[in-house]
Chains A and B, each alone.
Chain A
Amino acid sequence: MSGTGIGARVLRKEDFRFITGKGQYTDDVNRYGQAHAVFLRSPHAHAEIRSIKLDAARAMPGVVDIFTGDDLAADKIGGLICGWMIHSKDGSPMKAGAHPALAQGKVRYVGDHVAVVIAETQAQARDAIEKIEVDYKVLSPVVAMADAVKKGAPVIHDVASDNTVYNWSLGDEAGTQAAFAKAAHVTKLDIVNNRLVPNPMEPRAAVGDYDSGTGGFTLYTTSQNPHVARLVLSAFIGIAPEHKLRVIAPDVGGGFGSKIFIYAEETVCVWAAKKVGRPVKWVADRTEAFLSDAHGRDHVTHAEMALDASGKILGLRVKTQANLGAYLSTFSSCVPTYLYAPLLSGQYDIPAIYVEVDGIYTNTAPVDAYRGAGRPEATFVIERMVEVAARELKQDPAAFRRKNFVRSFPHQTPVIMCYDAGDYDAAMTKALEMSDYKNIGARKAASAKKGLLRGIGFSAYIEACGIAPSAAVGSLGAGVGLWESAEVRVNPVGTVEILTGSHSHGQGHETTFAQLVSERLGIPIDNVAIVHGDTDKVQMGMGTYGSRSGAVGMSAISKALDKIEAKAKKVAGFVLEASPDDIEFKDGKFSVRGTDKEIDFGSVALQAYIAHKFNGQELEPGLKESAFWDPTNFTFPAGVHICELEIDPATGVTRIDRWTAVDDFGNVINPMIVEGQVHGGIAQGVGQALLEGAVYDASGQLVTASYMDYSMPRAGDLPSYDVGMTQTACPSNPLGIKGCGEAGAIAAPPAVMNAITDAIGHEGIAMPATPLAVWRAVQKTAPRAAAE
């Protein structure tokens, strides 16, 4: 091979266009005659709309049209949906309040969509927005979950009179009760998982277009899964049948989950294109992104762990309140339930687990999947719990974890998941070596001499990726299957186009996927093009999230390549006058076993298309195959991250000194891209732990609605990472891949907080551990601990 196959550090093919400014993002799409949409957003967290007066706005220069919720209703355009049905423990279905794309009678969070102005220019639309008069009857907002569930709290949706979407549970309550009854020690902890704003570099955008000649709609949009967007816009919202609706997600500048969902703005743009007879474009500004992108996390949890006298975990009991915001976003319901609770066993052999989760409405932006989606929350709970348990039992945190590790596979946890492969001890051993754990005492002493508090924190995380077996998720309430599709088109000259239902918005699929093809077909990587993000090109797909594109998307490609190889062998057999069974394929050449007769891949492709050497009735001409891959299981990436940091007790400033990451992602296609994913994931995890936090005030105004108040991690906040890997191949897909996109964001927060609490000597601090929070916490540090 030429060094571009599996395992090679190939530079990203797509980066040339990105770094030379030739990327084509949604905002780069300009259609002839397009008008511009600007949304009027609610300034109130909770209010009835008594009336909306549009006359003055309609009279403004350049206004093409103005629409409200009434116009959508008149056209029978449905509301936004939540695609995963969760049932409460009493069997009742979740209480999903209506979510119109433009408000109907009521607004429920600051930033909620009230009306849309479409004008010749964006500036004219903004001018006109200011002239719309809305008569609001302001209602009391409920911002905190604790207030939302109080008796007599204002009701956000009539269908949920107690502002509760569901009371869900998982696991064996009685068995867990029994485990606690025989416990020698119980560790208890209250845990807050802070609310985050996703902040992809590219804000959301949409261009809707309607062709009155064909009756077809086209939507250009910042989506991680354009086919799912088409399905929802077509089948549920009712824009147009699928064959009359093309959705294109061109280059997309980051998503982190926030661009999975189907939002009001793209719905309105594509619908309005037909109403006004012109293309309609909308581009969010950063404030809109803060207000109306689905937020992430926001859990309040009480957890208890039962242990025997030796420190063996007997049981885990978790009660979580999950803030779902004002409406149920597309996949919001499954994030704090099936993407969360099944991961609470962590890397540990825990005989009994019981979890209760209450999904709560509040007058805040909707909350949905954000990098990790449920798994960071679960990892934070279990990794804080084991760290605190080890401290309470005066055991070394690494030894405590080793004592409780799962050691044989497959391992069935008490909470759905069956771990298929892993070697948790190997990752721990490697991480301890890389981090020079044995000399931590000396490093703590050296810091103390400088007046600084040094702490070390572990995070032995596990996640479930490669989502997911369709029948399994269907049985848990998913509205879709979670397979992936691929089509391999071999051109007559032997170049190859791969059509995939995965979507790349920073992950580097154009390189990684091409490496697989280059390796398998023995052709130069530059002869491979990856086509994605257009429902007219790729027939169907489920998109990119949950670290699934390698494990699921590439498995579909692999399956299609198997078919290509089988067909090409038949063609080669005819050309070389041998039985296909005697044809070997290696390094891009087909040869007859035991002879020197051979033909290269490109020549076979040509022969397949000219079809001179075989009977077209016996073997179809052409070389094109497709495949759908439905996973047999989740995949289970796991690893150990160790954070070592210093705190300046005088200011509360935390400086991360060392970061060791040892991850088991199974087989790796491009180590450079995988390391990049780890680096970025850790940065986001450190952001959550030290810096980021969405804050609403008591009236429901988002205080952190700009970078003046919302702290994003910057290079100077981060250390130089020490990244290592262990490998156990994943038995659940043909490539042995587990997935790497979210690991860093999942692993990092508990590693940081375990290190901070180690440094300050107590557990009384929550994320984000800002200098203020750390300084306050240090005041409560016992003098002995500070002097250590």
Chain B
Amino acid sequence: MYPFNYHRPSSLADAVKLAGGDEAKIMAGGMTLLPTMKQRLAAPSDLVDLNALGLSGIAVAGGKVTIGAMTRHADVAGSAELKKAIPALAEMAGMIGDPMVRHRGTIGGSVANDDPAADYPSACLALGATIVTNTREIAADDFFVGLFETALQPGEIITKIIFPVPDKANYQKFRNPASRYAIVGVFVAKFAAGVRVAVTGAGSGGVFRQFDFEEALSKDFSVKAIEGIKQSADGLNSDIHADADYRAHLIGVMARRAVEAAK
């Protein structure tokens, strides 16, 4: 780790100001950033720790779930209210990392980092979440731009994420045997207006929606409806754990299992 200046602002305004520096980095849970810094792969001049901002908590009201950006995965996984409203989201949070990661990592940090194998981006995209920052509201469809790339401007800080409550949803994760990140993660959400399906872990451009599955499931929310739809391997990742063909195949398997398990 290289030396850096550490800041722990107690107001969002201070945090935004500090985060505006050229070489500053914002730290939420630090579950990705700190290991990267320890390996000397990141060298911020200033580290702006958001842990004193109090941006945490889960609220369910008016058909929406609002989760503060600094809410830990373990709290999302354990929320009784959320388990009633969107059980799939709570279950998904419980599948992230290990207990230490779940007690430190945050929803805002995960979404802002946009790791192509992270779980939360698929939930945001499938549920049609709104990402709220210190300056604006961004629809999930516009938020996830590419690998580790989002619509966030430098210094912009996520404050909360708002999820519409679906009729049914489920997340199926096929883990990398080594890292236990998603090789393929499929989040399926059924709303009155239609079905949304988001895939993480597989796409070379990060999380994406599977529109063919969405169209078929919107007409008929059943395993059968998507059995015959082939996911193309084009644009999918290949590595020693899973080649593109295998990922394409797994997207179908995970999607069918998600439809079957949706509640």
CA of A691 to CA of B175, assembled, Å: 13
* CB of B216 closer than 8 Å to a CB of A: no
Q: Which of B1, B178, B179, B249 contacts A775 (CB 8 A)?
A: B249
Chain B residue contacts of A287, Cβ below 8 A? 39
Given known A650-B253, A772-B246, contact A708–B178 (CB-CB < 8 A): yes
A651–B178 contact, CB under 8 A?
no
Stretch at the interface among B49-57, B131-139, B235-243: B235-243
CA of A126 to CA of B250, assembled, Å: 43
Given known A703-B240, A709-B240, contact A771–B177 (CB-CB < 8 A): yes
Nearest B residue to A650 via CB reads B253
Seed contacts A709-B179, A711-B178; 16 additional CB < 8 Å A-B pairs: A123-B1, A650-B253, A651-B253, A691-B177, A691-B178, A704-B178, A704-B240, A709-B241, A710-B178, A712-B178, A770-B241, A771-B177, A772-B242, A775-B246, A775-B249, A776-B246
Can you list 8 A-B contacts with CB-CB less than 8 angstroms, sorted by A residue number?
A651-B250, A652-B246, A708-B178, A708-B179, A709-B178, A710-B178, A775-B249, A776-B246
Minimal beta-carbon separation of A140 from chain B (angstroms): 23
A695–B253 contact, CB under 8 A?
no
Residue interface mask A700-716, B partner, CB < 8 A = 1: 00011001111110000
* CB of B174 closer than 8 Å to a CB of A: yes
Minimal beta-carbon separation of A505 from chain B (angstroms): 25
* CB of B219 closer than 8 Å to a CB of A: no
* CB of B84 closer than 8 Å to a CB of A: no
Minimal beta-carbon separation of B233 from chain A (angstroms): 13
Chain A residue contacts of B242, Cβ below 8 A? 771-772
Minimal beta-carbon separation of A720 from chain B (angstroms): 20
Write the residues of chain B forming the contact surface with A, with a CB cutoff of 8 angstroms.
1, 39-40, 174, 177-179, 240-243, 246, 249-250, 253
Q: Which of A126, A650, A711, A776 contacts B177 (CB 8 A)?
A: A711
Nearest A residue to B181 via CB reads A708
B249–A772 contact, CB under 8 A?
no
Chain B residue contacts of A695, Cβ below 8 A? 240
Chain A residue contacts of B243, Cβ below 8 A? 772
Say what secondary structure dominates the interface of chain B.
loop
Nearest A residue to B243 via CB reads A772
Given known A704-B240, A709-B240, contact A770–B177 (CB-CB < 8 A): yes
Chain B residue contacts of A652, Cβ below 8 A? 246
Residue interface mask A673-715, B partner, CB < 8 A = 1: 0000000000000000011000100000001100111111000
CA of A776 to CA of B242, assembled, Å: 11
CA of A712 to CA of B179, assembled, Å: 10
Minimal beta-carbon separation of B39 from chain A (angstroms): 8
Chain B residue contacts of A651, Cβ below 8 A? 174, 250, 253
Minimal beta-carbon separation of A490 from chain B (angstroms): 48
CA of A703 to CA of B178, assembled, Å: 12
Write the residues of chain A forming the contact surface with B, with a CB cutoff of 8 angstroms.
123, 126, 287, 650-652, 690-691, 695, 703-704, 707-712, 770-772, 775-776
Top 7 closest A-B pairs, CB basis? A711-B178, A711-B177, A708-B179, A650-B253, A709-B178, A772-B246, A772-B242
Chain A residue contacts of B250, Cβ below 8 A? 651
Nearest B residue to A712 via CB reads B178
B40–A126 contact, CB under 8 A?
yes
Nearest A residue to B254 via CB reads A651
Best-buried of A652, A695, A711, A771 by chain B (most CB within 10 Å): A771
Chain B residue contacts of A707, Cβ below 8 A? 178-179
Chain B residue contacts of A650, Cβ below 8 A? 253
CA of A690 to CA of B178, assembled, Å: 11
Chain A residue contacts of B174, Cβ below 8 A? 651, 771
Chain B residue contacts of A126, Cβ below 8 A? 40
Chain A residue contacts of B39, Cβ below 8 A? 287
CA of A125 to CA of B241, assembled, Å: 36
Nearest B residue to A286 via CB reads B39
CA of A712 to CA of B39, assembled, Å: 21
Nearest A residue to B184 via CB reads A651
CA of A251 to CA of B241, assembled, Å: 36
CA of A711 to CA of B243, assembled, Å: 17
Q: Which of B179, B241, B253 contacts A772 (CB 8 A)?
A: B241
Minimal beta-carbon separation of A686 from chain B (angstroms): 12
CA of A695 to CA of B182, assembled, Å: 21
CA of A478 to CA of B117, assembled, Å: 50
Best-buried of A691, A709, A772 by chain B (most CB within 10 Å): A772
CA of A511 to CA of B174, assembled, Å: 43
CA of A771 to CA of B241, assembled, Å: 8
CA of A772 to CA of B249, assembled, Å: 11
Chain A residue contacts of B241, Cβ below 8 A? 709, 770, 772
CA of A707 to CA of B97, assembled, Å: 13
Minimal beta-carbon separation of A739 from chain B (angstroms): 32
CA of A772 to CA of B245, assembled, Å: 10
CA of A707 to CA of B35, assembled, Å: 13
Chain B residue contacts of A690, Cβ below 8 A? 177
CA of A476 to CA of B158, assembled, Å: 69
Best-buried of B39, B177, B243, B246 by chain A (most CB within 10 Å): B177
CA of A704 to CA of B250, assembled, Å: 23
Chain B residue contacts of A711, Cβ below 8 A? 177-178
CA of A712 to CA of B1, assembled, Å: 26
Minimal beta-carbon separation of A362 from chain B (angstroms): 19
